């Protein structure tokens, strides 16, 4: 941990903590069954100028310190054995911040393991294009990503549930995915008699499922 320095250039913006350059290393085991999976690491927050390496090979970077970012790991991993992940962080340039979030990796790092045909990370967008007491029109945009070889035919199924768990709207859309491509699937569903938000009755959508 950095020590506070009253003469650091960041001054009160970072609580008198100077920045620094850091190296993080971690060894982790990749099971053999991950070989046919899509593996992505999410970094929720790294301040700043992060560069990520798997087994010595450059895998990705993010210059920004306040946003999360993703790094695909499939092609860099060795399955059935240990792997090394190394993260270089350069936060030595001052002044560079308006407030103190921390320096280096300051939030969680998550590993996401899924099928080669999957919904892309942050790939779902839901918009209510029209709403009144009788009807709500909801549009769903889903980015489907495929990292396999043979062409895949599948469906994107979306449902919206009320507070009791009852399905109030759903839609099933076909999708054809080609090797190494992403496809955007667009759906429109109609909710009859939606429970609108108000100060007296602050109704919210309780749950939605997209798969």
- CATH code of the domain in which 79 resides: 2.60.120.260
Residue-level pLDDT at 1 = 66
DSSP for 126-188, written as a single string: EEEEEE-SSEEEEEEEEEEEE-SSS-EEEEEEEEEE-TTS-EEEEEEEEEEE-TT-EEEEEEE
Residues 105 and 143 in one domain: no
Residue-level pLDDT at 142 = 97
Residues of the chain with pLDDT under 50: none
Residues 125 and 174 in one domain: yes
Residues 26 and 90 in one domain: yes
Residues 145 and 50 in one domain: no
Is 37 contained in some domain?
A: yes
Is 5 contained in some domain?
A: no
Residue-level pLDDT at 205 = 65
Q: Mapping DSSP to helix (H, G, I), strand (E, B) and coil, where does residue 82 land?
A: strand
The Cα 69–Cα 57 span in angstroms is 18
Q: Mapping DSSP to helix (H, G, I), strand (E, B) and coil, where does residue 109 land?
A: strand
Residues 93 and 128 in one domain: no
Q: Contact 19/11 with Cβ under 8 angstroms?
A: no
| End residue of a domain, out of 66, 96, 115 | 115
Residue 193, domain CATH: 2.60.40.10
Report the domain count for the chain: 2
Single pTM value for the model: 0.85
Residues 110 and 123 in one domain: no
């Amino acid at each position: 941990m950095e020590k506070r320095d009253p003469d650091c250039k960041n001054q009160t913006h970072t609580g008198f903590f100077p920045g620094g350059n850091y190296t993080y290393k971690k060894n982790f085991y990749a099971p053999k069954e991950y070989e046919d999976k899509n593996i992505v690491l999410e970094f929720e927050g790294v301040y700043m100028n992060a560069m990520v390496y798997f087994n010595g090979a450059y895998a990705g970077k993010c210059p920004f310190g306040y946003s999360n970012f993703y790094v695909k790991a499939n092609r860099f991993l060795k399955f059935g054995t240990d792997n090394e992940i190394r993260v270089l962080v350069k936060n030595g340039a001052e002044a560079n911040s308006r407030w103190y979030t921390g320096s280096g990796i300051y939030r969680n790092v998550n590993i996401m393991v899924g099928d080669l045909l999957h919904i892309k990370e942050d790939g779902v967008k839901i918009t209510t294009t029209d709403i009144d007491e009788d009807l709500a029109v909801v549009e769903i945009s889903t980015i489907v990503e495929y990292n396999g070889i043979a062409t895949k035919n599948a469906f994107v199924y979306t449902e919206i549930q009320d507070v009791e768990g009852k399905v109030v709207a759903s839609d099933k859309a076909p999708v054809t995915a080609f090797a190494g491509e992403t496809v955007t699937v667009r759906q429109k569903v109609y909710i009859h008699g939606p429970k609108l938000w108000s100060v007296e009755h602050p109704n919210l959508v309780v749950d939605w499922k997209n798969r």
